[in-house]
Amino acid sequence: MEIHAISSLPDFEEAHALINAMGTWDAEQSRRFGVPDVELMEYIYGHTVETLMEKFSQRGAAFFLARVDKDVAGCAGYSRSNDGIAELQKMYVRAEARGKGVAKGLMTACLERMRDDGYAGVRLETVTFMTDAIALYEAFGFTRSSPFRAVPLSLQPITIFMERKL
């Protein structure tokens, strides 16, 4: 497995494709809870390749791609929130790559880079049905926290906020 920080257009195009796959799956799952696709997509998945590049190329941000046997297997990134705390975002591992340590590798790469960037803590937002992701976050020391941003009304019943110190 190879994990590397990305900055090139082709890498961000691959990351965008992964995020779109995650969005499709997330929308299917969220429909069971009455969340309108349009609202979910606008709230979480509204990035273009260009806006991803802009967001994750800033100082205090990074985006990583994982490859298994040269195939793109997963991605994760972080950026600086308005109040200066790192926020883990866009973590996704393709179904066929799960169970191979990809998520752990991505999380480790993000946390190490966050520390290098001088962050004291990190937070994230997830949903109740992402049980494998929640287990991973808890294994890395994340605990549930108060909301750190407003969430659309339809998403509030399924949204979980988590945080940890670095």
Read off the pLDDT of residues 90-132 as tens digits, 9 standing for 90 and up: 999 999 999 999 999 999 999 999 999 999 999 999 999 999 9
CATH of the domain at 16: 3.40.630.30
Total of domains in the chain? 1
- The domain in which residue 132 lies consists of 2-165
Hey, which residues does 71 pair with through a beta bridge?
68
Predicted confidence (pLDDT) per residue in 7-32, tens digit: 999 999 999 999 999 888 888 888 88
- Characterize the bridge pairing of strands 86-93 and 71-80: antiparallel
Asked whether 149 and 160 are in contact (CB, 8 A), the reply is no
Q: Which residues pair with 123 in a beta bridge?
A: 87, 163
Confidence category of residue 40, pLDDT binned at 50, 70, 90: confident
